[in-house]
């Protein structure tokens, strides 16, 4: 079964929930490392002849258009991750629409191809921000990948597998973060900190089990900064520091193992767009 492989294309300082690093006016003070780290991801994908979806920050696309062209030229899907990496509950509806539209315009001008998908920073579509789906569909998005069936980070009642949701402008696909049921909760294990914490055998066996038992695809996600052997350190609250740095060096070997043992493709192919 074809599973979805995604890359959140953001730089090492794009960290939600921190006042200083969430201020775009300060971003020019930081060294950009996104191109060199993304090249490592691209090299690995090329080695295993695998295509992925890159959810691109509009801010990065505007600063690094050649990087976006390289990703597109190598056959990967370019979707968007917002412009300024703002979580939805930090934005008004009007600001969100402007943020998404600006990202679409920047990316489509670079690739010459229509953008189909969106992922909110920190998976921030929840019950109280579900209005975003209407706006996404209005702007031409065919799918979203921003929901988490998990208490606090998302909503536990959210569906676990890809499905369509009715909006005022038509149906939109939702491809939620992959989770596994554990007692009364759903737990993520296929990207970010959960992928780094989970034993590799657990991740690959659970994805295979999901494919075979339920006939459902999983979704794996990584960030280019997780491939940085010399990741700069920045002052962060303890919880954010743990989330950002803990076992980052395990991401590459775990992703390489998944590429060896499972089949992956971009989101648009997995849901048949």
Which residue did the predictor score with more confidence, 21 or 63? Answer: 63
Q: How confident is the model at residue 148 (pLDDT cuts 50, 70, 90)?
A: very high
Helix H or strand E encompassing 186: strand 185-188
Record the pTM: 0.95
Q: What is the pLDDT of residues 239-253, one digit of tens each?
A: 777 677 788 889 999
CB–CB of 49/75 below 8 Å? no
Q: How far is residue 60's CA from residue 94's CA, in Å, rounded to a whole number? A: 22
The domains of the chain, with CATH numbers, are 2-270 (3.20.20.370)
The stretch 36-43 carries a mean pLDDT of 97
Q: What is the pLDDT of residues 7-22, one digit of tens each?
A: 999 998 887 666 655 6
Q: What is the pLDDT of residues 88-109, one digit of tens each?
A: 998 999 999 999 999 999 999 9
């Amino acid at each position: 079964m074809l599973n979805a492989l995604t890359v959140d294309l953001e730089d090492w300082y794009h960290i939600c929930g921190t006042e200083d690093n969430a201020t775009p006016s300060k971003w020019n003070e930081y060294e950009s490392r996104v191109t060199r780290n993304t090249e490592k991801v691209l090299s690995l994908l090329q080695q295993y002849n695998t295509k992925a979806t890159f959810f691109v920050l509009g801010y990065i696309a505007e600063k690094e258009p050649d990087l976006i062209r390289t990703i597109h030229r190598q056959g990967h899907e370019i979707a968007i991750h917002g412009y300024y990496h703002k979580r939805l509950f930090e934005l008004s509806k009007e600001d969100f629409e402007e943020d998404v539209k600006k990202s679409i315009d920047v990316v489509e001008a670079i690739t010459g191809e229509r953008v189909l998908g969106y992922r909110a920073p920190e998976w921030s579509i929840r019950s109280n921000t579900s209005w975003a789906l209407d706006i996404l569909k209005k702007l031409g998005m065919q799918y979203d990948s921003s929901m988490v069936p998990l208490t606090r980070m998302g909503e536990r009642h959210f569906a676990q597998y890809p499905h369509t949701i009715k909006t005022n402008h038509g149906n939109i696909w939702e491809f939620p973060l992959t989770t596994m049921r554990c007692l009364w909760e759903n737990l993520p294990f296929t990207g970010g900190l959960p992928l780094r914490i989970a034993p590799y055998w657990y991740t690959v066996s659970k994805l295979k089990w999901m494919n075979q038992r339920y006939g459902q695809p999983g979704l794996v996600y990584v960030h280019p900064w997780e491939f940085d052997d010399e990741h700069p350190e920045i002052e962060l609250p303890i919880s954010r520091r743990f989330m950002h740095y803990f076992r980052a060096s395990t991401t590459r070997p775990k992703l390489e193992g998944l590429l060896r043992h499972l089949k992956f493709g971009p989101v648009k192919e997995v849901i048949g767009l």
